[in-house]
Structure formats: C-alpha cells, structure tokens
Amino acid sequence: MKIVVVDYGMGNVKSVISAIRYLGFEDVILSNDSSILASADKLILPGVGNYAMAVKKIHELDLHSIIRELVLCKKIPILGICLGMQLIGRSSTEDGFHEGLALIDAKVEAFNSKGIKIPHVGYNQVEPVLNSRLYSGINTELDYYFTHSFRMQSEADICASRCVYGENFIASFEKNHIAGVQFHPELSQHNGLKLIRNFIEKF
Amino acid sequence: MLRNRLIFGLIYNEGCFMQSRNFRLQRVGDINWLEKNYKFQKISFSMDELLVVDATRKEKNIDKFSETISRLVEDVFIPVTAGGGIRSIDDAEKLFNSGADKVLLNTPLYENEMLAKQIIARYGAQSLIASVDYKIIEHEPIVYIKDGTVSVPVAMEDYLKRLERLGVGEILFNSIEKDGTGFGYDIPNITKYANSVNVPFIILGGAGNGAHLNDGLNVEGVSGVATANLFNFIGNGLPKAREFMLNEGANLARWDNADF
C-alpha cells in the first residue's frame, strides 16, 4: 500500500504523515513528482491557507492535469483535507473567483451567517449520513477539529456528514473513490486516526 | 455545537520547560524529562490543543526551539501552536515546517504589523494567534509587550479591536498577575473583554484546577481555557481535570480513545 501525500507547499503536512505512520502504514511519501504520484495506491491532498495561492502553486507545479488524470481516469482514491477538500471542488470565491481541480461538482463560499465568530475554530460534532465509509466503526459523538472561514456547498448527492455552525454545511463528502473532509482528521485524536484508516482501507 | 477547548501550554527557556509565575521562570526539566516522567503523548489525549512558548529572556534560538517543536509533535494528534521570539516570516516558516499548525505573536503585533499581515497572507488568518499580556494598573488592564516588560499606550478595547481589524485568527488573553498562581482566572476582565471582538477568545493565567477551568468556560464569549501550570496539571492532573470538567457538564470534545 503506497500512500502519496501531495506536496504543493501549503500547510502542515508533518502531522498528516505521522498520523499515517502511526496507523502502521510505513510506505508514505510526500511528493509532487508526477511519476511518484502515478505510483500511488492512495492520494492525500492536504492544505491549509489561501485558496488562490494553492491553485497558483498547483498550476506552477503542473499538478492540475496530473491529479485529474490519476483520479478521474485511473480511479486512484483521493482524500482532500481542509483546503485540499475545497480544491477538489469546482471553484471558490476566496479572494476573487478561482477554479479548483473540479473532481466533484461543488463550490466553496464564505460562511454567510451573522453573529458567529469567524474563523470557525475548534472541535465540532459531525453527523454522518447512513453507510458512510469514512466513519465506519467510530462509536462516539464524532468530534473533529475545524479551522476555516469558507465551506463547501453542492447540489450533487455527495454529502457524507454535516456540521452546524451558524448554518448547516458539508463537513465531508464521499463519491465513489473521491473523499474530502473540511476538518483535520490528523488533529482530531483517535476519531481522526480511525477516519484516516477507514479511507486507506475502504476506498 | 462548537466545543470549547482545553489548551495546555508549555513554557520553554533555553532547552528546558519552565513553571512561570508572574512571568518569573523556574526550571522544571527538558524534553527527555517530559517524555520519561510524564509520558507526554498519553496526557496529550486529554488536551484539545498544545501551546508552546519560547520565553527565553536572553537571545532566543529559533532553530533549537524548532527542533524541540518537531520532537514534541511526533504522535501528538491535536493542533500545536508555537511562538515567542518570532521576528520575521522566516522564523514563522521554521516553526510551521517543524509541525506547528499555528504561530503565536505578541510584540510584533504592536511594533511590526506587517509581519502579522505576511503570516496571514501566506498561512491564513486561522494560523495566527495574537497574544495579549496585561497587568492591572490603577484598576485598568494595561497591555504589555516584550515578555511583560514594556507597556503599550493603547486602551485594551482599542487594542483588541485593532487586532481584529488586522485579521488575527484568535486572541490569547493572558493575565500577568494571575500567571502561575493557581488561584483562578481574572474573571472580571475576561467577562468585560471576551465579547468585545468577533474572533475566538482564549484565556490564560491563573487556573489551578478543573473548577477554575470551568469558571473560565462559563464566561460568555470564551472559546478556550489555557493553562501552563506544570505543577498542577502534569501527570494525572490534566486527565483528571478534563474528566471533572466533563462531569460538571463542560462542552468539551469527546473521543473514543479506548480500543485503538
């Protein structure tokens, strides 16, 4: 099982990698080399920070078409985390309008509720839909760590869990071999470690 | 519902961890001591976040501090904030690359706002915590920078609003006078300022037990309670305090930590 964490220079990837190793998957590598990405059994797209800057870096590193080909044609499973999840969607309105990887039909916009503190920071409960693979075997109230000001919306039937913060938004999605989580499983104690293991084993 | 957070702080000074009292430091032990005596990874399962502050009074060595952060975050699966002595975007980058999820700024928020703006532009607003140290002078909370040695001539409310406009992700409100006392938080001032800004508000300084932590969380507008009291919370202290807080109805995250 070879797991490749996509390196495009945004955010803390150290904890993602140490979480995967902690779970006993030793063959994990951080890379932006197209041949290494092509050899992956699973891809993880991490990311923290600004959407526009992330899109720019993905294009600069020629990763846009490679990731699309690996995921859409070769059907390599991918898990997007936080900004990585948002990048899997079509677009975001953070700092203008920017197009993402468009692996699924979803758009990213700012929270529009009044009277909530922004960013949404901290552990919040998520409510999984029936038969979600990501949450399989996790038997608690499902607290996960969030830190974001934008969230995903979609007309498509992809939602795997919802979270409430001023409004109801998509906390995670699953569509065949493509998954994304708005929260940080690598910063969510055992709830998160189990979710990462579920992605590796069930996708 | 969004949970409140229990944040544990470690005060670092020239390679060692310290107990701070009113910003005076007492050496407790180094990272090996922490791992050997207190199985740090195990107690990390009782905290929601970890904060590590370099309080070295002499020349701070950010490379050595980064190495310590790097070792500390191994197998710790919660957000880690590091700060103290960040004076350039390169310093911040070193800490992020060592595994910090957020950085803490204090003095540059007043002296060099551009640094805060650079960090926000590169890493996002959520990656920056603004540390606000204060002392009560003639009944008014006065903001201090430079490890509590230099006062800032801006009223507290204006200072907090200025940080909010600057775009910081969170505010850490720290009472120098309560620091390390274990007598409880400065509830009157926390009550007065927690809702004055629309960013998450974390309090530090004074907590000595689980009841103090809950007193802090019970103040409207407080998002997180922090303690850096090594003496009171290391070992079984923190797991017991968390259990107490949950039993008293605190709105903290719950994890399935058994069975792994």
Does the pLDDT of residue B257 top 70, yes or no?
Answer: no
Q: Which residue has the tokens 């904030």?
A: B81
Residues of B numbered 62-101 whose beta carbons fall under 8 angstroms of chain A's beta carbons: which are they? Answer: 70, 73-75, 77-80, 96-101
Does the pLDDT of residue B137 top 80, yes or no?
Answer: yes
pLDDT per residue as tens digits for the range B81-93 = 999 999 999 999 9
Q: What sign results for the dihedral spanned by CA atoms A12, A14, A17, A18?
A: negative
Mean pLDDT to the nearest integer, B164-186: 96
pLDDT per residue as tens digits for the range A174-196 = 999 999 999 999 999 999 999 99
Q: Which of B199, B113, B10, B232 is nearest to A122 (CA)?
A: B199
**What distance in Å separates the CA atoms of residue A195 and residue B133, rounded to the nearest whole number?**
38
Predicted pLDDT of residue A116: 85
Contact residues on chain A for B78, CB-CB shorter than 8 A: 145, 187-189
User: Radius of gyration (Cα) for chain B, nearest Å?
Assistant: 17
Q: What sign results for the dihedral spanned by CA atoms B31, B32, B36, B37?
A: negative
Q: What is the mean pLDDT of chain A?
A: 93
**Closest approach of A140 to chain B, Cα-based (Å):** 6
Where does the pLDDT of residue A129 fall: very low under 50, low under 70, confident under 90, or very high at 90 and above? confident
Does the pLDDT of residue B258 top 70, yes or no?
Answer: no
Mean pLDDT to the nearest integer, B157-169: 97
In the structure encoding, which two tokens stand for residue B126, read together? Answer: 């959520």
Does the pLDDT of residue B9 top 60, yes or no?
Answer: yes
Contact residues on chain B for A56, CB-CB shorter than 8 A: none
Predicted pLDDT of residue A34: 96
Of B70, B79, B260, the CB nearest to A187: B79
Q: What is the mean pLDDT of chain B?
A: 93
Predicted pLDDT of residue B260: 59
pLDDT per residue as tens digits for the range B101-115 = 999 999 999 999 999
Tell me the domain boundaries of chain B. 5-247
Where does the pLDDT of residue B259 fall: very low under 50, low under 70, confident under 90, or very high at 90 and above? low
What CATH number is attached to the domain comprising A74?
Answer: 3.40.50.880
Contacts of A4 (CB under 8 A, 6+ apart): A28, A29, A30, A31, A36, A37, A39, A40, A42, A43, A44
Residues of A numbered 84-123 whose beta carbons fall under 8 angstroms of chain B's beta carbons: which are they? Answer: 117-123
Of A49, A123, A194, the CB nearest to B48: A123
pLDDT per residue as tens digits for the range B212-231 = 999 999 999 999 999 998 88
Task: With beta carbons less than 8 A apart as the criterion, state whether B76 and B51 touch.
Answer: no
Q: What sign results for the dihedral spanned by CA atoms A71, A72, A75, A77?
A: positive
**Closest approach of B170 to chain A, Cα-based (Å):** 8
pLDDT per residue as tens digits for the range A10-38 = 877 889 999 999 999 999 999 999 999 99
Given an 8 Å threshold on Cβ–Cβ distance, is B121 in contact with A50?
Answer: yes
Task: With beta carbons less than 8 A apart as the criterion, state whether A122 and B223 touch.
Answer: yes
Least confident of A174-178, A181-185, B35-39, B120-124: B35-39
- Indicate the number of domains in chain A: 1
Predicted pLDDT of residue A90: 96
ipTM attached to this prediction: 0.87
**What distance in Å separates the CA atoms of residue A178 and residue A78, rounded to the nearest whole number?**
5
**What distance in Å separates the CA atoms of residue A201 and residue B115, rounded to the nearest whole number?**
43
Does the pLDDT of residue A85 top 70, yes or no?
Answer: yes
Does the pLDDT of residue A141 top 80, yes or no?
Answer: no
Q: Which of A116, A129, A138, A120 is nearest to A185 (CA)?
A: A138
Given an 8 Å threshold on Cβ–Cβ distance, is B199 in contact with A118?
Answer: yes
Q: Which residues of A are catalytic?
A: 82, 184, 186
Predicted pLDDT of residue B35: 78
Task: Please list the residues that pair with B181 across neighbouring strands.
Answer: none
DSSP B200-215: -EEEES---SHHHHHH
B105 CB-contact burial (10 Å; exposed 0-12 / middle 13-18 / buried 19+) = buried
Which residue range forms the structural domain that includes residue A21? 3-202
- Return the residue of A nearest to B258 by Cα: A190
Q: Which CATH code of 3.40.309.10, 3.30.1380.10, 3.20.20.70, 3.30.450.20 fits the domain covering B5-247?
A: 3.20.20.70
**What distance in Å separates the CA atoms of residue A91 and residue A173, rounded to the nearest whole number?**
16
Does the pLDDT of residue B120 top 80, yes or no?
Answer: yes
Amino acid making up residue B257:
N
Where does the pLDDT of residue B72 fall: very low under 50, low under 70, confident under 90, or very high at 90 and above? confident
Q: Which of B203, B204, B207 is nearest to B237 (CA)?
A: B207
In the structure encoding, which two tokens stand for residue B44, read together? Answer: 């990390």
